Every structure is written in C-alpha cells, then in structure tokens.
Amino acid sequence: MKCNGEIAYKESYFKPLVEEIKNGLYDRCFYDYLMNTDIEGYDWTNNRPVTDYYKQLQAINIPIVARFLDDLSSKKCSFQSSELFQCFNSFLVNGNYKYETNVTKFGLDIKKYLGIEKGRNKAGACYIIDFKILKAYLIEKGFSENLQFIDVIPVEDDEDDSDDESIISPLDKL
C-alpha cells in the first residue's frame, strides 16, 4: 500500500485523529455500518481498486521472458533456437537485467507462452512464433506494456531450400 508522505509526520493531522478514535463517539456507528454492508458474493481478488501504484507493481513483476517476447513482436516467423537465445541474452545485457539462464531453462520458460511452438528444420531446432496469438496471451495475462508490431521483410529462399520456412534472425531487430 502506498501512503501519503506529506502527512506521515504531521502531528496536526494525527493528534486529532487519535483523539477521535479514543473518543469512541462514533465507534458503534462505524461498527454498524460495517456489519450492515452487504459483502455476499464480493470477489475479493478481482474487485480490488486498480490504482496507479497497483499498475506500477504489476509492471515491475512482468516475467523477463514476457518482456523479451513483448519487445520481439512481429509477424509469424521462425527463429533458430540458438539465435533466439542469443537475442534474449542481448536483451538482458542491453536492458541491464540481472537474470541467470541457460539454453535449457530458456527453452522451458518460452514453451509456457501460447503462440510459440518448437520445431525442427534443415538448420536445426527452431521456434515458430505466431505473434497474434502471443500478443493476445500477453495482454490476457497482463504481461504486455506496449506491444508494437513491426513489419518483417521476408527472407528470400535459395532455390534448394524452397520447401523450408524462412528463418528471420531476431538479432536483425536489435
């Protein structure tokens, strides 16, 4: 809870407040008010007030992988897993985040997000990301601060790789 720092140490505010509480004149009235307030069916989890401070706390607690995916947004693409992990590490360094991970942990973390599938192509393991599904998931979970979609320039395939999906390096976006 965020408190008003302007009155925190003002005796002129707290002295009359404490005297009023000690007075007891309004205790019964306040008690009756609370006892007669209908709280049946009240959802204590979802009906809390959403203040600016609450929103700040939510933004602070967005998982780092979600922040990365929010920053990476584009159209449906396929990324080589090693390049995506390298891009994630660059994101951590550039954002000055303190987060220890490895390829395995990153792979387990990223699988939790809707719109991301792990696959294989001729170049090895890859992630296929559908950013429309991912965006909807990040927004639903409250993990998106400012999803902005950018257009991706398609990579031209070589003639012998025409049946393979285009690989767009996330490093090109940094």
- What mean pLDDT do residues 106-110 have? 93
Instruction: Find the mean pLDDT for residues 87-95.
Output: 93
Q: Is 155 helix (H, G, I), strand (E, B) or coil?
A: coil
The strand order across the sheet containing 116-121 reads: 77-80, 124-129, 116-121
* Cβ contact 68:113 at 8 Å: no
Residue 1 has pLDDT above 80, yes or no: no
Choice between 99 and 165, residue whose per-residue pLDDT is larger = 99
Question: What is the amino acid identity at position 23?
Answer: N
> 62-151+165-173 belongs to which CATH class?
mainly alpha
Which helix (H) or strand (E) segment holds residue 110: the answer is helix 103-110
- The pLDDT score that the predictor gives to residue 166 is 47
Structural domain boundaries of the chain? 62-151+165-173
Burial of 18 (0-12, 13-18, 19+ CB in 10 A): exposed
**What b/e sequence results for 45-71 when a residue is b if at least 16 CB atoms lie within 10 Å of its CB, and e otherwise?**
eeeeeeeeeeeeeeeeebebbbbbbbb
CB distance 132 to 44 below 8 Å: no
Per residue in 158-168, pLDDT (tens digit) is 444 444 444 44
126 - beta bridge partners?
80, 119
How many CB atoms within 10 Å of residue 12?
A: 7
Q: Angle at which helices 103-110 and 81-94 pack, to 10 degrees? A: 100
Task: Report yes or no on whether pTM surpasses 0.85.
Answer: no
Amino acid 6: pLDDT:
79
Query: Which of 1-5, 19-23, 42-46, 83-87 shows the lowest mean pLDDT across its residues?
Result: 1-5
pLDDT digits (tens, 9 = 90+) for 20-36: 888 888 888 889 999 99
What is the structure's pLDDT at 161?
Answer: 44
- How far apart CA 118 and CA 110 sit, in angstroms, is 9
